[in-house]
């Protein structure tokens, strides 16, 4: 008998040390060493989201990119939002979605604007012909060592990106979501185990958990499910573009039991599960992918 493929998760993907690689926010995938794996070559779908219509914020790179690829290969049409500076990455994702035989809708813009968030949902619905999956994934993270150095401007921008936009987009999407629709929010292990240099970011990720738990109870009677995913250290442009100091980048992920960062391809199946009918009794939950770090 042929033995099943059983790769060792400790050695399947790159381990630190990594080179320092400072880049300007929001960062680009192609500038990272090693290049993140979003499942471009590995993800194989099985029709679990056939005919569904999804909007993913931050869909150009990192976790959002991996989720967009997975959703498309599972049969969903996908709209992605991203900043105009990320157009290069976004167009790569559009090609991958279309290569899977699905409709791709590219919607650049700044989600710190309430007006844009409302337009984003309208344009996604128009471009996709409806909406039944919303993934609030876009995020801002900037490491600052001391509260004395944390400006009101950064604090405000972090909350606008991570919390206000999630609220605005979800509120605008609700009239379009019917029974069976799903919302998946990206929180973080920072919601449970905040790092001292991520004071503002950790607060927003805890807020996302509370938002998820409250909204799930509010919309359960409509047949709409709401869950959150809590990634640990994942290898995305968010990290070297200011999310972590460069000395932390060199050893990024070494602090968790698996001794390496996660690759976006490793978390995308969790979003597929939460968006599909296979998770039909799961709502209001926080699902971790942390390399062994407990969420409790």
Q: Which of 235, 171, 278, 234 is nearest to 29 (CA)?
A: 235
For residue 279, give the DSSP letter.
G
Task: Check if the beta carbon of residue 89 is closer than 8 Å to that of residue 138.
Answer: no
Going edge to edge, which strands form the sheet with 77-82? 104-108, 77-82, 53-57, 133-136, 182-186, 225-231, 286-289
Q: Is the dihedral of CA 237, 240, 243, 244 positive or negative?
A: positive
Q: Check 43, 82, 164, 201 and give the catalytic one.
A: 201
Q: Is 201 a catalytic residue?
A: yes
Region label for 180, one of left (φ > 0), alpha (ψ between -120 and 50) or beta (otherwise): left
Burial class (CB in 10 A: 0-12, 13-18, 19+), 169: buried
Number of neighbouring beta carbons within 10 Å of residue 274: 24
Question: Residue with structure tokens 């090609």?
Answer: 95
Q: List active site positions.
A: 201
């Amino acid at each position: 008998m042929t033995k099943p493929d059983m790769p060792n998760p400790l050695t399947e993907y790159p381990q630190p040390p990594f080179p320092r690689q400072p880049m300007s926010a929001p960062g680009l995938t192609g500038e990272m060493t090693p290049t993140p794996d979003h499942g471009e070559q590995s993800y194989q779908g099985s029709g679990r989201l056939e005919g569904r219509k999804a909007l993913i914020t931050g869909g150009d790179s990192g976790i959002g990119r991996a989720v967009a690829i997975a959703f498309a290969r599972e049969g969903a049409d996908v709209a992605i939002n991203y900043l105009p500076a990320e157009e290069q990455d976004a167009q790569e994702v559009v090609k991958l979605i279309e290569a899977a035989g699905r409709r791709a809708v590219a919607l650049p813009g700044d989600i710190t604007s309430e007006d844009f968030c409302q337009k984003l949902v309208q344009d996604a619905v128009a471009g996709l012909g409806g909406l039944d999956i919303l993934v609030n994934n876009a995020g801002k993270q900037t490491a600052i060592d001391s509260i004395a150095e944390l400006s009101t401007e950064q604090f405000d921008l972090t909350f606008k990106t991570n919390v206000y936009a999630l609220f605005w987009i979800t509120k605008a999407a609700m009239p379009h979501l019917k029974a069976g629709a799903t919302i998946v929010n990206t929180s973080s292990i920072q919601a449970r185990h905040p790092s001292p240099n991520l004071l503002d970011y950790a607060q927003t990720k805890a807020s996302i958990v509370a938002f998820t738990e409250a909204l799930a109870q509010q919309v359960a009677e409509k047949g709409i499910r709401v869950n959150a995913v809590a990634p640990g250290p994942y290898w995305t442009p968010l990290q070297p573009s200011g999310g972590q100091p460069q000395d932390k980048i060199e050893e990024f992920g070494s602090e968790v039991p698996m001794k390496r960062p996660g690759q976006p391809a490793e978390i995308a199946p969790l979003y597929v599960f939460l968006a599909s009918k296979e998770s039909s009794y799961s709502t209001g939950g926080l699902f971790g992918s942390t390399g062994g770090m407990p969420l409790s």
